[in-house]
Amino acid sequence: MKNRTSFLPQGGEVHPSRCLDNSAFKQQKLPAWKPQMTIATVLSSFFLTGAFCLSVGVCLVLSANSVREIQVDYSDKCSDCSKLRENSSNWNKECHCSVNFTLKENILGDVFMYYGLQNFYQNHRRYVISRSDAQLLGRNVNIQKSYCVPFTTYRNGTPMAPCGAIANSVFNDTIDLFYNLNSSVIQVPLLKTGNSWWTDKNVKFRNPKSYNLSSAFAGTARPPYWQKPVYLLDEENERNNGYLNDDFIVWMRVSAFATFRNLYRRVKRIRWFSDGLPAGNYTFRISYNFPVTKFKGRKHVILSTVVWSGGSNPFLGIAYVVSGTAATLTGFVIAAIHLKLRKKKTYFQK
């Protein structure tokens, strides 16, 4: 009988076995369930999916169509101000324009005011990353090492607050709404706050800690295209200043498309406007500061209501309808193929 030690490698070392443990998990012996796809289960899956998507899509489309909305383009009506703003040397000159429109029917419920931009591309890679999230959290950071270049510091070394191309290009037109009632003009009360996302307002944006905002931003300067420093964005409400300004926060959430709208104001439901906006003649008075002619853009103001599914955007409903239609048609095609093959099989069996 041969000695067992002769089978050991030189040196007498015993190497552990590379075989897996003899367990149900490692040997892949666990019980499994494999669905048996029959023609009945396949067709029922396609038809049920199609019916569900079609029903949801129709509801979403009908809901979007029930939104009351009016859109006013003021690009051409404020052309004089636009020409003035194209010259950067006129940055400190004020320019105002007015746009009249008529509401033929009442807009009942909560009314939201949006500003819309057309042909403004916020989805460029260098534009999207041109910001400092650490600075927007109120931290003392070296923005020279951030992606804000070239909007980081001035030639004298003064840092910009906030830095980056997104902040520098913030939409800064001021839009007021007036209701023309008989011979009197009534300004529609608009809410400046509560228009940004809760997570942005309470998590992603913070002001530097100091006893007041002017001292918190001491040693910094406004971006080149701004008319006011960041701590004076809202002179009526101290809590709506600095990096916590709602208009600034809304703008910093960039859009994926070249044509987009951002929430600007909400109508405060008091007095004449307790039920919404009554029918009649209205006027937008605009302090024009945001030029768009150089990139062939357009600007407009939108007054809109919202429903349970959101605003006037039928895209999701149309997507559901298309998906439901495709699933239903696929089910009919599979059923036709099955019937055709079954007839052939019956014929050959005979």
Condensed to tens digits (0 to 9), the pLDDT of residues 296-311 reads 899 999 999 988 888 8
Q: Which domain holds residue 169?
A: 53-316
Burial class of 107 by CB neighbour count within 10 A (0 to 12, 13 to 18, 19+): buried
**Strand ranges across the sheet with 174-181:** 96-103, 280-287, 174-181, 184-187
Structure letter (DSSP) for residue 202: I
pLDDT of residue 15: 64
Cα dihedral angle (73, 79, 84, 88), rounded to 10 degrees?
50
98 has a pLDDT exceeding 90: yes
**Would you call 45 helix, strand, or coil by DSSP?**
helix
- The answer, yes or no, to whether residue 177 has pLDDT greater than 80, is yes
The pLDDT of residue 329 is above 60: yes
- pLDDT tens for 259-289 read 999 999 999 999 899 999 999 999 999 999 9
User: Is residue 1 pLDDT above 50, yes or no?
Assistant: no
Q: Which residues contact 235 (CB under 8 A, 6 or more apart)?
A: none
Q: What is the pLDDT of residue 346?
A: 65
Query: Which has more pLDDT, 115 or 10?
Result: 115
Do 239 and 202 form a contact (C-beta atoms < 8 A)? no
pLDDT of residue 11: 56
Tally Cβ neighbours within 10 Å of residue 147.
16
Residue 244, in any domain of the structure: yes
Please give the average per-residue pLDDT across 175-195, as a whole number.
93
116 belongs to a structural domain: yes
> Which band of pLDDT confidence, cut at 50, 70 and 90, is reported for residue 243?
very high
- Chain-wide mean pLDDT for the chain? 89
The domain total for the chain is: 1
pLDDT digits (tens, 9 = 90+) for 12-68: 566 667 777 888 888 888 888 887 888 888 999 999 999 999 999 999 999 988 889
**Listed residue (247, 229, 232) closest to 193, CA to CA:** 247
Contact between 123 and 255 (Cβ < 8 Å): yes
- Structure confidence at residue 16 (pLDDT): 67
3-state helix vs strand vs coil in the chain, percent to 5 = 35, 20, 45
DSSP 121-132: ----HHHHT-S-
Q: How confident is the model at residue 9 (pLDDT cuts 50, 70, 90)?
A: low
Over residues 82-111, the mean pLDDT reads: 88
Mean pLDDT of 134-149: 89
Kindly report, residue by residue over 80-89, the tens digit of the pLDDT: 888 888 877 7
Give the pLDDT score at 144: 83
Beta bridge partners of 221: 160
* pLDDT on residue 24: 83
Q: Flag whether 335 is in a domain.
A: no
Q: Is residue 26 part of a domain?
A: no
Q: What is the pLDDT of residue 12?
A: 56
Mean pLDDT is lowest, of 3-12, 26-35, 147-156, 225-234, for 3-12
- Find out whether 78 and 92 touch, Cβ atoms under 8 Å: no
* pLDDT at res. 308: 84
pLDDT of amino acid 347: 53
Does residue 333 form part of some domain? no
What value does the mean pLDDT take over residues 325-345?
89
Mean pLDDT to the nearest integer, 167-172: 94
With respect to residue 331, please indicate whether it lies within any of the assigned structural domains.
Answer: no
In a domain, 342, yes or no: no
Note whether residue 111 is domain-resident: yes
